[in-house]
Amino acid sequence: MSFFTWKDEYSVGIREIDDQHKKLVAMINELHQALANGKGRDVLGNILQQLIDYTGYHFSSEERLMEKYDYPDYVDHKQIHARLTDKVLELQKEFESSDVKRSIEVARFLQDWLNKHILQTDKAFGPFLTKKGVS
């Protein structure tokens, strides 16, 4: 069974965003799987970097949509993304300078964060954008 399983309740009702969330879930699972298989620093570091890059791309996609449709909580939501980005970059630095087991915490942290963020913060803009005709 996957470390992190996609559930229908994660859907925000917008295809592009749901697909990106699914991809993030898959990437977190990939990181976890690599850890479980005892992969080395290079492999883990690569997966982590891809995950960080894709997270940046995903955040930009959400922010672009929220800004385009004048989402009222856009600024707060963007700040939450910025805080997560800082935190992950900090964790990545620690990973680079310490034990590879540190990436277990990174995977766990990202899973918890994404889970909460989708269900609470991202789901809030779904109905707003859907009403504006985004699907």
Asked if residue 122 binds Fe ion (CB under 5 A), the reply is yes
Q: How far is the CB of 33 from Fe ion (least distance, A)?
A: 22
Task: Provide the sign of the torsion angle of the four alpha carbons 134, 123, 52, 66, taken in this order.
Answer: positive
Q: Which stretch binds Fe ion (CB under 5 A): 26-34, 35-43, 58-66, 105-113?
A: 58-66
For residues 100 and 122, which CB has a smaller minimum distance to Fe ion in the complex?
Answer: 122
For residues 76 and 105, which CB has a smaller minimum distance to Fe ion in the complex?
Answer: 76
Half-sphere exposure of 133 (CA within 13 A, CB side): 2
Residues interacting with Fe ion, by CB under 5 A? Answer: 62, 122
